[in-house]
Amino acid sequence: MPGHATDITSQTIRVTGLVQGVGFRPTAWRLAHEEGLAGFVLNDGAGVLIEATGCAGSISRFCQRLRDEAPPLARIEDIQISICPAPVATTGDFTIKQSIETSVATGIVPDAATCPECITECFNPGDRRYGYAFTNCTHCGPRLSIVNAVPYDRATTTMAPFVMCADCAKEYQDPADRRFHAQPNACPRCGPKVWLEVERGTCAPQQSSIEECAKMIVGGKIVAVKGIGGFHLSCDATNELVVSVLRQRKARYHKPLALMVRNIEMARSIAHVGDAEIELLSNAAAPIVLLQRHNQTKLADSIAPGHHHIGVMLPYTPLHHLLLAQTDRPLVMTSANRSDEPQCTQNQDTRTRLMAITDAWLMHDRDIANRLDDSVVRVDRHGTTVLRRARGFAPAPIRLAAGFEHTPAVLALGAELKATFCLARETTATLSQHLGDLEEPATRDGYRITLDLYQRIFDFKPEIIAVDKHPDYASTQLGATLAKEFGVPLQPVQHHHAHLAAALAENSIGPDCEHALGIILDGTGWGDDGTIWGGEFLLGGYRSFRRVAHLESIGLPGGAAAVRQPWRNTYAHLANASANSDVDFMLERPALKWLADKPVKATALMLANGLNTPLTSSAGRLFDAVAGMLDLCRDGQTYEGQAAIGLENLAVEEVAHVQPYPFRVCGGTPAIVSFAPMWEKLICDLEHGIQKNVIAARFHRTVIEAIAHTVEQISQNHHLDIVALSGGVFQNRILLDGVGALLEKRGLRVLQHRIVPANDGGISLGQAAVAAARTVGTTG
């Protein structure tokens, strides 16, 4: 051992962060040997614990190298060093000890795309893993999708039934091997098996099942393919007939379908791919990346009808790589389910639920412990925006800012749509993956199963439960039940306040923030005044807020029916804007002749008498109203946001070249932002033959200018530190970029979402942050 005896010291080194299941212990072992240290390394509930004996300089270099040479999937948050109270032997080896089961403060690493070394092995005829669909190592492969408990060891994963063969065990036990302590390590002799089923019968032996699957796909069939976090429905993305059949069988009539391509070159053949997009596609998270499609491609027209962007991902498992190598064309890879149901994860369930949809099943026998949808991201003017946070991102922790150190165990249960939950403790917030819409019973069941798993994995017993204020949300009702079960306080958080708090939290704003302006635009949220909110200007912070402005409240004729049928919103806005809202008078306008086919007289009575016509300030319904006017999904939407997305796609090429329509902001507390003056000019544009894409662009410019004008008016009466943009409507790229640019030009600090979605997928983080800030504010 180098150094003099007087230099010898024993130190305890605590490493926290995402440091389990990523090859951190073998890295520490290798570095310790290179620095001549004695001692040990092990996993426990707090992260990685190291005790090292050697000269002080060697230990110092060792700690620095832990940071500099950490494994690719590791994310070190802190390294704390202290003198070892009971020094280990000053001579001897450095070893890896068995994990200690204890209360959990560390994180589980997200699933990671197959690394280059493993891909090379899969395609090397001389390698023992040639053609093996479950090749992995400490740098890649399944993590959250297979884990049942912590510490993260094979016995606590769905790999437990597969006993390693001698060769795999040798790799697993060799600290110099990249599979050292790789828990999912396997090979064709001892690991999971893949097979192809057609009509519940095994069609092909294991060694040819992927090849036969590829032949079926190329031949125009639909195959359910089991991946890491669930099944996909896959077919040839260049075959219009089979894509149309898939849409009909799945009852997904218009929503864009995700694609998987073999490599970047294939992605470039169908879409514009810049450096930022390449980085995202190639990332270990392997998300779906929204790319601007080429005008002329071989893709089926019905992949993403009416959309300028398509969702593309690269293969992220060896099975995918092997399949794409055989098909050599873009494949549809959409979640295996009927619309609005959760993605299939279990073999028998998939056979039953997909019988009427798929022609075959590419199965395997490694169970999925945790359902994981594909994450969705895009590149905008300032970087990456996460639109759906799931596989590859969850459950990576989100660090709360300084001041949250004394946060108790807060369980926040999110909203009704795009459900997530959040476990917050001290400065760590662990957000679940996207879990779907809780309106569906099967999704509610899956939500509860996943919540139970997270509580078990993280040994989490809540001390506070935070929920949405809407009394009918399934998550709110579950929260009330759990609060009684655990005997802890239930803290309701207003929906749009949670949106504001989520934007503050992910941007590392501390709990004492009081002068942030949240501009929250979405479809719906339970308002404190008994109306439906959705176009809000909220001034405050985590602990409280004031509603200083909002979009004008308009009747929602038919309630939920108006959400599905945009024409109802169109009529309500026209009636509100018109000095003469007489139905017969309206129908005389050439641009409004289409209303003659609608039950407008009954709708007018509903509005006049307030019958099933709740008031709403929703920005989402405003977008629906304009979309309906332009005959976009006028009679019905088949998925959430369809009309607004169509409006954005219509406007995108013209928005920089148009002038806004008139609007007005009526002073007061709260101020009212009215788009009533817009409608007459918009109707005149239609009657003068102005192209619809120009009208759509003018509408977007109007909303951008109205928001900026409202902020300027608010700033005259209130000190603003920060402006935070949140809510699902801000997933509109035109709106987000336009509002952000105008406010920044006026010298304001603008926060937007990067880590969690702007939509309701981020609500649980905001709820947790509100409950935490209120608690540390009373105890800290």
pLDDT tens-place string over residues 141-193: 999 999 988 777 899 899 999 999 999 999 999 988 999 889 999 999 999 99
pLDDT tens-place string over residues 359-369: 999 999 999 99
pLDDT category, 102, cuts 50, 70, 90? low
pLDDT tens-place string over residues 670-716: 999 999 999 999 999 999 999 999 999 999 999 999 999 999 999 99
- Coil vs helix vs strand at 710: helix
pLDDT tens-place string over residues 247-284: 999 999 999 999 999 999 999 999 999 999 999 999 99
Please say if the pLDDT value at position 3 is more than 60: no
* CB hemisphere CA count around 692 (13 angstroms): 13
Q: What is the rounded average pLDDT for all residues in the chain?
A: 93
597 Cβ neighbours under 8 A, 6+ residues apart: none
**Per-residue pLDDT at 21:** 76
| Structure-token pair, residue 402 | 């300084």
Distance CA 618, CA 531 (A): 10
Q: Could you give phi then psi for residue 600, rounded to 5 degrees?
A: -75, -30
Nearest to 241 by CA among 157, 325, 159, 300: 300
Task: Indicate the class that CATH gives domain 194-364.
Answer: alpha beta
Q: Which residue has the higher pLDDT, 23 or 113?
A: 113
pLDDT category, 580, cuts 50, 70, 90? low
131: left (phi > 0), else alpha (psi -120 to 50), else beta? Answer: left
Please say if the pLDDT value at position 339 is more than 80: no
The percent of residues above 90 in pLDDT, for the chain, comes to 84
Q: Which CATH superfamily is domain 551-718 in?
A: ATPase, nucleotide binding domain (3.30.420.40)
768: left (phi > 0), else alpha (psi -120 to 50), else beta? Answer: alpha
User: Any idea which fold 5-96 has?
Assistant: Alpha-Beta Plaits (3.30.70)
Q: Which residue has the higher pLDDT, 98 or 32?
A: 32
Could you tell me where the beta strands, DSSP code E, fall in 109-182? none
Distance CA 371, CA 147 (A): 11
Q: Could you give phi then psi for residue 399, rounded to 5 degrees?
A: -85, 125
Evaluate whether 409 touches 462 at the Cβ level (below 8 Å).
yes
Strand partners, 38: 53
| Cβ density class 568-599: b for 16+ within 10 Å, e for less | bbbbbbbbbbbeebebeebeebeebeebeebe
Q: Could you give phi then psi for residue 433, rounded to 5 degrees?
A: -70, 165
Instruction: Please state the rounded mean pLDDT for residues 26-43.
Output: 93
Question: Where are the CATH 3.90.870.40 domain residues in the chain?
Answer: 194-364
Distance CA 444, CA 436 (A): 9
DSSP 23-81: SHHHHHHHHHHHTT-EEEEEEETTEEEEEEEEEHHHHHHHHHHHHHT--TT-EEEEEEE
Question: Where are the CATH 3.30.420.40 domain residues in the chain?
Answer: 551-718
Q: Could you give phi then psi for residue 255, rounded to 5 degrees?
A: -60, 135
Instruction: Please state the rounded mean pLDDT for residues 541-561.
Output: 97
Q: Could you give phi then psi for residue 18, rounded to 5 degrees?
A: -85, 90
Question: Where are the CATH 3.30.70.100 domain residues in the chain?
Answer: 5-96
Look up the pTM and report it.
Answer: 0.94
Q: Which residue has the higher pLDDT, 199 or 103?
A: 199
pLDDT category, 668, cuts 50, 70, 90? confident
